[in-house]
Structure 1
Amino acid sequence: MQDRPPATGGGTEARRPATRVRKRDGDTEPVDVGKIVRAVERWVADLDEVDPLRVATKTISGLYDGATTAELDRLSIQTAAELIGEEPQYSKLAARLLAAYVDKEVRGQGVASFSQSIAYAHGLGLIGDETAAFVARHARKLDDAVDPDGDRRFEYFGLRTVADRYLLRHPQSRLVVETPQYWLLRVACGLSRTPGEAVGFYRLMSSLAYLPSSPTLFNSGTRHTQMSSCFLVDSPRDELDSIYERYHQVAKLSKFSGGIGIAWSRVRGRGALIRGTNGRSNGIVPFLKTLDAGVAAVNQGGRRKGAACVYLEP
C-alpha cells in the first residue's frame, strides 16, 4: 500500500473559526467559555452542588455563530433549568441567572432605581397617577428600601412565572420595565397610605412570608386597580337580553383577573316550552358553551386563563 500524501499547509490542520456572539452595542467577539464560567460563578457561592463549567460548556454547545449576548444569557438560563431534575440546586442558579437577565433588560431602558421604573412606566400609561405621585414624593425612602438580594429567595419556576405574567412590559417592545423587587414594591405602594406602610408591606412580600392574590399582584398601582379575586354573580333571567347582559358583565370582570362564580338556575331546562316561538328549549348547555368561550377569549387580559364556575340549584 502506498503511504498517504502529506497534509498540506505545513502539517497544520485547518480549524473551524471560533463561534462569535454579537454584543448589545453591535460589536462581535469570540465566545469565551471562561467568561461564561465567571458569569455563572457570581451566583453559586452557596450552591456547592452546582458545576459552573458544566453549565458553560452545555451553553456553548447550543450556540450558533452570530447569536446575540441576550440569546447567550437565555440559553444559560435554559441550560441551568434543564439540570434541575438531576440536582435541585440548579433551580436556584437558573432563578438567579433569570433575575440578572431581567435586571439587564430593565437597565437597558435607562431605569436604574425603583422610582425611575415607576416614572418610566407611568409615562407609558401603565401606572396610575396616584401611585406615580406617591412614589415621586417619597422616592429616596422607597429606593433605599429595595432589597438587592430579594431575588435569591425565588426558585426558578416561581420567578419564571413572575417574569412571564406579572412584571409590567413596554407596550411596543414587550421588554419588562420593572425587576421582581420593583414589582413587589410597586404592589405595596398601590396598597399603602404612607411610605413606612409601603416599606413594611414590601419587606413582608420580599421575604416570601406572604403574597396577596394574583389580581392584586397584577393590578396594584396600575391604572386599573381591580384587586379582588372572586365575584359571585346572580343568575340571568330566562330571557335573551338578560343572558347576554351577563355575558358582558362576566367578560368585564374577567378582563382584570377576576374569577367568576355565576348561578344559572333561572334559565329554563331542555325541552321546556318557549311561548314566544311555540318551540322547545335546547336547555342551558348551549348558553354555558358561549359563556365558556367568552371567558377563554377574554383570557384575563392575556396573562392567564379565565375561570368561571356555574352553580345550579338542585
Structure 2
Amino acid sequence: IRRNGKVTGFDESKIKVAMTKAFLAVEGGGAAVSMRIHDLVNALSAQISQALSRRMPGGGTVHIEDIQDQVELALMREGHHKVARAYVLYRDHQAQKRAAEQADAAPVATILHVTHPDGSRAPLDLPRLHALVDEACGNLNDVDAKAVIAETLRNLFDGVPLKEVNTALVMSARTLIESDPNYSFVAARLLLDSIRTDALRFLKQPQTVCTQSELAGLFGEYFHAYIQTGIEHELLDPTLRQYDLKRLGQAIDTAQDLQFSYLGLQTLFDRYFLHQEGVRFELPQAFFMRVAMGLAINEIDREAHAIEFYKLLSSFDFMSSTPTLFNSGTLRPQLSSCYLTTVPD
C-alpha cells in the first residue's frame, strides 16, 4: 500500500535499488560494481521478502513504510549499522520533503472515514486516536503527541482500512525517531495497540479494543484463553493447563510493556510470538510468562518459580537465548543453544 492509499504489486527490485543506494552512500560510488555489494543486497532482499511472506502466508497487503522498516531491521541484524543509519537518514529526508509538499497542497477533508473489515464505513475516531497517542507519549521527555497526530492525519485518506490507521500511527512515530530517540518508545507503544487488538479479537474476548492501561484489568481472562487456545492448536504443552493460571495471570505486570523500544518489539512480533492463521495472539507479557512456565515446569512449587523467572525476563534483567524463547512451554521445549559431545576418530 502506497502512502496515498493506492495498492500496487510488490516489487522486490525496488528494495534492491534502495539498499544499493544506502551501501553506496557509505562505501562510495566505486562500490557500484562490487559483486560483494550485489550479493549482499540480493541476500538481504530475499530475506525481507521471506519475512513478509511468513507474516502473510495467504497473501495480503503491506504498507510501504512497513517494508522500509523491514529493510532497516535486516540491515541492523546483519551488522550493517552505518548503512542502516544512511537508510534512516534518507527516509527522514524524504519524509520532510513530503511534509513540505503536503503543507503547500490543499487541505484534506475535515472528516475522514475508515473502512471496517466487513466493508462498512464510519467516521475516524479522533478522540481514541488522541487518547492512544497521548498515552504512548506519557512519561517520555522531548516527544510531542500533536506532531505524531499531525503526521498520521497527513498519511490517511478517506475510506482508509481500519488496520492501516494503526499502521499510519506507528509509521508516523517511527519517522520522528531521528529527531529524538524517545519516539522509538512511542512507536513501540502504538504497535502494542495493534498487537493487543488482534490478539483479543482472535481469542474472542468480550472487550477487543482497549488502551494499555485498560489491559491490566482484562489480562486474567485473556491469559486463560491464550493458554487454552495455544494448547488446542498444538502450539503449547498441555501441561501448562495444570498451572494455577489465575495466580500467574495476577502476577503479570502489563506496565512492563512500556520498556520496549520499537526495534525490540518489532523483532519479537516478527520472529517470536505464537501465531495462528497469520494472527499473533501472544502478547508480550504472556510470551515472557509462557517462557517462564516452561522453565519451571519440573519444579515442586512451579508457580512460585515461574513468577520468579517471569519477573527476571520481563524486567530485561536477564534474557534467555533464542532457542529457549522460541520453544519453552511448547511441545518441543528445546532449552539449549548448543551442546558438547564426543565423536570417535
TM-score (normalised: structure 1): 0.64
Partner AA of 1:181 in structure 2: Q
Which residue in 2 is equivalent to 1:159?
Answer: 265
Q: CA separation of 1:198/1:57 partners in 2, compared to 1, >3 Å: closer, same or farther?
A: same
Q: How many residues of Structure 1 are paired with residues of Structure 2 in the alignment?
A: 220
Deviation, structure 1 residue 23: 3.5
Which residue in 2 is equivalent to 1:150?
Answer: 256
1:29 matches 2:138:
no
> C-alpha offsets along residues 50-104 of structure 1, whole Å, 9 cap, x if unaligned?
1112111211222233222221011111111121111111011111111122111
Q: Provide the C-alpha distance between the structure 2 equivalents of 1:52 and 1:161, rounded to a whole number of angstroms.
A: 25
Q: Provide the C-alpha distance between the structure 1 equivalents of 2:125 and 2:224, rounded to a whole number of angstroms.
A: 36
- 1:55-134 maps to which residues of 2 (within 5 A)? 55-109=148-202, 110-111=204-205, 112-131=221-240, 133-134=241-242
After the TM superposition, which of the residue ranges 61-70 and 89-98 deviates more from structure 2?
61-70
Q: CA separation of 1:191/1:16 partners in 2, compared to 1, >3 Å: closer, same or farther?
A: closer
Deviation, structure 1 residue 124: 1.0
Q: Provide the C-alpha distance between the structure 1 equivalents of 2:303 and 2:123, rounded to a whole number of angstroms.
A: 48
- 1:169-208 maps to which residues of 2 (within 5 A)? 169-170=275-276, 173-192=277-296, 193=299, 194-208=302-316
Which residue in 2 is equivalent to 1:249?
Answer: none
Q: CA separation of 1:25/1:38 partners in 2, compared to 1, >3 Å: closer, same or farther?
A: farther
Partner AA of 1:177 in structure 2: F
Q: Report % sequence identity.
A: 32
Q: Provide the C-alpha distance between the structure 1 equivalents of 2:270 and 2:126, rounded to a whole number of angstroms.
A: 29
Paired residue secondary structure (1:41): helix
Q: Provide the C-alpha distance between the structure 2 equivalents of 1:142 and 1:33, rounded to a whole number of angstroms.
A: 36
Deviation, structure 1 residue 232: 5.5
Q: CA separation of 1:234/1:61 partners in 2, compared to 1, >3 Å: closer, same or farther?
A: farther
Q: Provide the C-alpha distance between the structure 2 equivalents of 1:185 and 1:30, rounded to a whole number of angstroms.
A: 38
Which residue in 2 is equivalent to 1:210?
Answer: 318
Partner AA of 1:72 in structure 2: V
Q: Provide the C-alpha distance between the structure 2 equivalents of 1:146 and 1:25, rounded to a whole number of angstroms.
A: 34
Deviation, structure 1 residue 233: 7.2
Q: CA separation of 1:222/1:54 partners in 2, compared to 1, >3 Å: closer, same or farther?
A: same
> C-alpha offsets along residues 224-258 of structure 1, whole Å, 9 cap, x if unaligned?
111211245778x9xxxxxxxxxxxxxxxxxxxxx
After the TM superposition, which of the residue ranges 149-158 and 107-116 deviates more from structure 2?
107-116
Q: Provide the C-alpha distance between the structure 2 equivalents of 1:101 and 1:220, rounded to a whole number of angstroms.
A: 25
Paired residue secondary structure (1:29): strand
The answer (yes or no) to whether the contact 1:33–1:60 under 8 Å persists in 2 is no
Which residue in 2 is equivalent to 1:48?
Answer: 141
Paired residue secondary structure (2:114): strand
Paired residue secondary structure (1:226): coil
Which residue in 1 is equivalent to 2:333?
Answer: 225
Paired residue secondary structure (2:280): coil
Deviation, structure 1 residue 190: 0.6
> C-alpha offsets along residues 108-129 of structure 1, whole Å, 9 cap, x if unaligned?
1225422220111111111112
Q: Provide the C-alpha distance between the structure 2 equivalents of 1:153 and 1:16, rounded to a whole number of angstroms.
A: 37
Paired residue secondary structure (1:149): helix
TM-score (normalised: structure 2): 0.59
Q: Provide the C-alpha distance between the structure 2 equivalents of 1:93 and 1:163, rounded to a whole number of angstroms.
A: 16
Q: CA separation of 1:16/1:206 partners in 2, compared to 1, >3 Å: closer, same or farther?
A: closer
Partner AA of 1:61 in structure 2: R
> C-alpha offsets along residues 1-38 of structure 1, whole Å, 9 cap, x if unaligned?
xxxxxxxxxxxxxx958431124565322335554223
Q: Whose strand fraction is larger, Structure 1's or Structure 2's?
A: 1
Q: Provide the C-alpha distance between the structure 1 equivalents of 2:293 and 2:313, rounded to a whole number of angstroms.
A: 12
Q: Provide the C-alpha distance between the structure 2 equivalents of 1:103 and 1:161, rounded to a whole number of angstroms.
A: 16
Paired residue secondary structure (2:177): coil
Deviation, structure 1 residue 217: 0.3
Runs of at least 5 residues in structure 2 that lack an aligned partner in the other structure:
1-107, 206-220
Q: Provide the C-alpha distance between the structure 1 equivalents of 2:126 and 2:225, rounded to a whole number of angstroms.
A: 35
Q: Provide the C-alpha distance between the structure 1 equivalents of 2:109 and 2:258, rounded to a whole number of angstroms.
A: 39
Q: Provide the C-alpha distance between the structure 1 equivalents of 2:233 and 2:196, rounded to a whole number of angstroms.
A: 19
Deviation, structure 1 residue 142: 0.8
Q: Provide the C-alpha distance between the structure 2 equivalents of 1:128 and 1:32, rounded to a whole number of angstroms.
A: 40
Higher CA-based Rg: 1
After the TM superposition, which of the residue ranges 108-117 and 177-186 deviates more from structure 2?
108-117
The answer (yes or no) to whether the contact 1:190–1:220 under 8 Å persists in 2 is yes
Partner AA of 2:239 in structure 1: E
Runs of at least 5 residues in structure 1 that lack an aligned partner in the other structure:
1-14, 238-265, 267-314
